[in-house]
């Protein structure tokens, strides 16, 4: 299916690693002119080099207003903004002080607010644009640990609906994508180490079976790949999804087994 993304400029925040790099790869494969992002100069260059032109790298600390403005100035006009960056910071209710909660909100919500506020006006002028907010299954089913992170990620679906109403009739759509467990290199390495310490098999099929039954249960018995997430994001960014606006789309293997 041709998603019609050829020539569209797409910025993926935090795409120097993990899920963001997978989203960037899929968008590039669909013909988008992808801008990959790192927090430090050169941090995302490896991915731009791997994917080749027209993919290019920018950098800036989007946890600050100045850093976000620096990223926008490097990008030029952007048609698609994927607010992928986020960090699962924190510990427990008893351990985390107010500063941890504020940091979680800044990293997981305000980074997206900054980039969206800076880039939406130009999209509205052109009459076309796509905003994607990347949340988590924990926005619907939060755990008892890292409460500040789940509270912050839980704000993104609400923010999506509010922004969708603001953008009504402009040609710019906004949606929220919430993955469950994702087989990023970092998590695969962590689960493999855990299996080794426990004396379990380190074959991926066995690790996946253990994770999806004992750690993060899913109805599919599978863990999403970064490409799985990237393909959903790419579809949401296409004209094929022009009637999807203000939606909260879970890609969690049925982990959030709820009606809404």
**3-state secondary structure at position 123:** helix
- Rounded Cα distance between 78 and 69, Å, is 13
Residue with tokens 């789309």: 249
From 16, 85, 149, 150, active-site residue: 149
149 noted as active-site residue: yes
Beta bridge partners of 179: 251
- Rounded Cα distance between 97 and 233, Å, is 34
Strand order in the sheet with 80-83: 56-59, 33-38, 9-12, 80-83, 129-134, 172-179, 248-251
Could you tell me which of 182, 130, 175 has the C-alpha nearest to residue 156?
175
| Residues with active-site annotation | 149
């Amino acid at each position: 299916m041709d998603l019609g993304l050829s020539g569209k400029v797409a910025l993926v925040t935090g795409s120097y690693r993990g899920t963001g790099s997978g989203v960037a790869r899929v968008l590039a494969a669909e013909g988008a002119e992808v801008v990959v992002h790192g927090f430090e100069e050169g941090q995302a260059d490896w991915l731009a080099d791997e994917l080749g032109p027209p993919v290019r790298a920018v950098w800036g600390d989007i946890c600050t207003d100045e850093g976000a403005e620096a990223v926008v100035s490097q990008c030029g006009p952007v048609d698609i903004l994927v607010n992928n960056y986020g960090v699962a910071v924190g510990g427990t209710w008893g351990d985390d002080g107010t500063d941890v909660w504020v940091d979680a909100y800044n990293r997981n919500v305000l980074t997206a607010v900054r980039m969206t506020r800076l880039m939406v006006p130009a999209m509205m002028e052109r009459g076309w644009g796509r905003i994607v907010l990347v949340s988590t299954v924990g926005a619907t089913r939060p755990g008892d640990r890292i409460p500040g992170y789940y509270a912050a990620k839980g704000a993104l679906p609400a923010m999506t609906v509010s922004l969708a109403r603001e953008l009504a009739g402009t040609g710019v759509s906004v949606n929220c994508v919430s993955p469950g467990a994702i087989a990023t290199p970092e998590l695969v390495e962590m689960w493999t180490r855990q299996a080794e310490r426990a004396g379990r098999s380190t074959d991926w099929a066995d690790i996946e079976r253990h994770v999806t039954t004992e750690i993060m249960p899913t109805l599919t018995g599978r863990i999403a790949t970064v490409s799985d997430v990237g393909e959903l994001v790419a579809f949401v960014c296409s004209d094929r999804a022009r009637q999807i606006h203000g939606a909260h789309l879970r890609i969690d293997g049925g982990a959030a087994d709820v009606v809404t």
